[in-house]
């Protein structure tokens, strides 16, 4: 069979070549996105308030005019990838110029707005995060338990954060920016927090999500438990309903009506998750002062593999990418509902309820 003078076999091979090259060079997409953020392009377009031409963009970026062509090519790929839209500006036919505007994706990168995912996008390509990928082949052939992160940096991720305050900050800001997305749905979660007077956010980082929850449910009392180096500079939390506590979730979790884990389970192996969940279970069935045993719940916010929304290609691919990120940087993994259920049963819980809440994430309530 011939098409345009080429055999179908050849057409398929050339398509496969493009497929290989696209994946081999995918880092260009990550780096171009990071560069646009570093240059402040989304904010400049936002401030401009109408479609911006390349010469105006170059001038607003205060770049040398001879960089115009480079900026145009950067914008062309980012527009192709859905970060900007371009429109023909209404000038005389022969002078028509492209004007660039924001899309839903670049609006989420604005540094002046919340949610702002720029810190996450920069953290994802930080050299510390990239180094383990360069040793991954080696790591596979080594007969040892440690992670590729450890092979690259000589220490597990959390220890590395402890001894590298600058990267610790990049990591925590990246996670906090991810948590800002919760702002879009936290008010709709009334049912989840009904009857909850006290909440511990385990591994709660900078307290971003705790603050969002308190904003929507101000009568709650919230404790953010995280490693000492994460919460050391946040003793009071700035609100009488929010306190930060340095500690180790493997040793002890303070008792509360609800114990929340956001983006925690996927950091750890099954054995480690069972240990953490058992500590969480102890914390929600602790004796009250009056001798009455009160049973609360564990709230997990994380990714569930194979959920309905996985029909969307971007979401499925991102969940599988998260899974490998967890394998390379930590000892963890993403899990299917059945794999979660097994963890809950092994940790002594009796039932659970999964609510898919937003894109990549689900909310799982787990009961003792
Ligand atoms: C992936 S981050 C999630 C942060 C936050 N929950 C969020 O979603 O934005 C994992 C968090 O777990 C914390 N962590 C790691 N080991 C811990 C431990 N043994 N006890 C308490 N927190 C821990 C880390 O410091 C980090 O803040």
Per-residue pLDDT tens digits for 80-139: 999 999 988 876 655 678 899 999 999 999 999 999 999 999 999 999 999 999 999 999
Confidence of residue 310 (pLDDT cuts 50, 70, 90): low
Domain carrying residue 349:
122-367
In angstroms, the CA 318 to CA 364 distance is 20
Nearest CA to ligand 1 atom 5: 204
Q: Are 269 and 331 within one domain?
A: yes
Question: Looking at the predicted structure, is the pLDDT value of residue 235 above 70?
Answer: no
Q: If you measure from the C-alpha of residue 276 to the centroid of ligand 1, how many angstroms do you get, rounded to a whole number?
A: 12
Q: Which of 47, 20, 66 is nearest to 111 (CA)?
A: 47
Q: What's the token pair of residue 167?
A: 């990267």
End position of a domain, from candidates 79, 110, 141: 110
Atom number, ligand 1, closest to the C-alpha of residue 161 = 25
Residue 84's CATH number:
1.10.10.10
- Contact status, residue 183 vs residue 122, Cβ threshold 8 Å: no
Q: Verify that 177 and 29 share a domain, yes or no.
A: no
Q: What is the pTM of this model?
A: 0.91
Cα 295 to Cα 284: distance, rounded to the nearest angstrom: 6
- State which of 110, 140, 173 marks the end of a domain: 110
Q: Say if residue 69 is in the same domain as residue 129.
A: no
Residue 104 has which token pair? 């839903």
158 and 81: one domain? Answer: no
Mean pLDDT score across all residues of the chain: 91
Query: 204 CB less than 6 Å from ligand 1?
Result: yes
Task: Find out whether the beta carbon of 275 lies less than 6 Å from any atom of ligand 1.
Answer: no
Beta bridge partners of 261: 202, 300
For 273, half-sphere exposure in the C-beta direction (CA atoms, 13 angstrom radius) is: 26
Within this chain, do residues 334 and 298 fall inside the same structural domain, yes or no? Answer: yes
Q: Whose CA is nearest to atom 19 of ligand 1?
A: 248
226 close to ligand 1 (CB < 6 Angstrom): yes
Overall number of domains in the chain: 2
CA of 318 to the centre of ligand 1 (A): 20
Q: Identify whether residues 234 and 144 lie together within a single domain.
A: yes
What is the Å distance from ligand 1's center to 204 Cα? 6
Q: Which atom of ligand 1 is nearest to the CA of 264?
A: 10
Q: Both 64 and 205 in a single domain?
A: no
Cβ of 109 below 6 Å from ligand 1: no
Query: Distance between CA 201 and CA 71 in Å, rounded?
Result: 43
pLDDT, tens digit, 9 for 90 and up, residues 131-185: 999 999 999 998 878 999 999 999 999 999 999 999 999 999 999 999 998 888 8
Task: Name the more confident of 196 and 295.
Answer: 196
Catalytic residues: 266
Residues 52 and 142 both lie in one domain: no
Best of 226, 231, 358 to mutate for ligand 1, by most ligand atoms within 8 A of CB? 226
Nearest CA to ligand 1 atom 24: 203
CA 347 to chain centre: 26
Q: Is the CB of 158 under 6 A from ligand 1?
A: yes
The residue whose CA is least distant from atom 27 of ligand 1 is 205
CATH number at residue 159: 3.40.50.150
Q: Which of 80, 110, 140 is the last residue before a domain boundary?
A: 110
Would you say residue 117 lies in a domain?
no
55 CA from centroid of ligand 1 (Å)? 44
**Distance from the alpha carbon of residue 170 to the mean position of ligand 1, in angstroms:** 14
């Amino acid at each position: 069979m011939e098409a345009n003078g080429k055999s179908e076999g050849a057409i398929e091979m050339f398509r496969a070549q493009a497929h290989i090259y696209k994946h081999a060079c995918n880092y260009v997409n990550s780096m171009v996105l990071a560069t646009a953020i570093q240059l402040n392009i989304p904010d400049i377009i936002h401030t401009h308030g109408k479609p911006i031409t390349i010469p105006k963009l170059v001038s607003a970026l205060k770049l040398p005019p001879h960089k115009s062509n480079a900026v145009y090519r950067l914008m062309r790929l980012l527009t192709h990838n859905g970060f900007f839209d371009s429109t023909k500006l209404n000038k005389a036919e022969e002078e028509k110029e492209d004007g660039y505007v924001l899309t839903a994706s670049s609006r989420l990168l604005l540094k002046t707005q919340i949610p702002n995912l720029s810190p996450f996008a920069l953290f994802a390509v930080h050299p510390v995060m990239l180094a383990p990928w360069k040793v991954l082949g080696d790591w596979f052939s080594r007969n040892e338990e440690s992670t590729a992160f450890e092979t690259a940096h000589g220490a597990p991720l959390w220890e590395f954060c402890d001894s590298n305050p600058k990267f610790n900050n990049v990591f925590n800001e990246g996670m906090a920016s991810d948590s800002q997305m919760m702002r879009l749905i936290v008010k709709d979660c009334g049912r989840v927090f009904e009857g909850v007077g006290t909440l511990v956010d385990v591994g709660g980082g900078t307290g971003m999500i705790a603050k969002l929850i308190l904003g929507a449910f101000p009568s709650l009392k919230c404790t953010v438990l995280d490693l000492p180096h994460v919460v050391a500079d946040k003793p009071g939390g700035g609100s009488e309903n929010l306190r930060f506590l340095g500690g180790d979730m493997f040793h002890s979790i303070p008792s509360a009506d609800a114990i929340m884990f956001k983006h925690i389970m996927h950091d750890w192996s099954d054995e480690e998750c069972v240990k953490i969940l058992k500590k969480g279970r102890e914390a929600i069935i602790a004796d009250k002062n009056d001798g009455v045993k009160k049973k609360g719940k564990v709230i997990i916010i994380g990714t569930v593999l194979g959920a309905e929304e996985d029909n969307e290609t971007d979401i499925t691919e991102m969940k599988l990418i998260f899974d490998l990120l967890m394998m390379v940087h930590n000892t963890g993994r993403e899990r299917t509902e059945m794999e979660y259920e097994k963890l809950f049963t092994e940790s002594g819980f009796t039932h659970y309820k999964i609510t898919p809440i937003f894109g990549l994430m689900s909310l799982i309530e787990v009961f003792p």
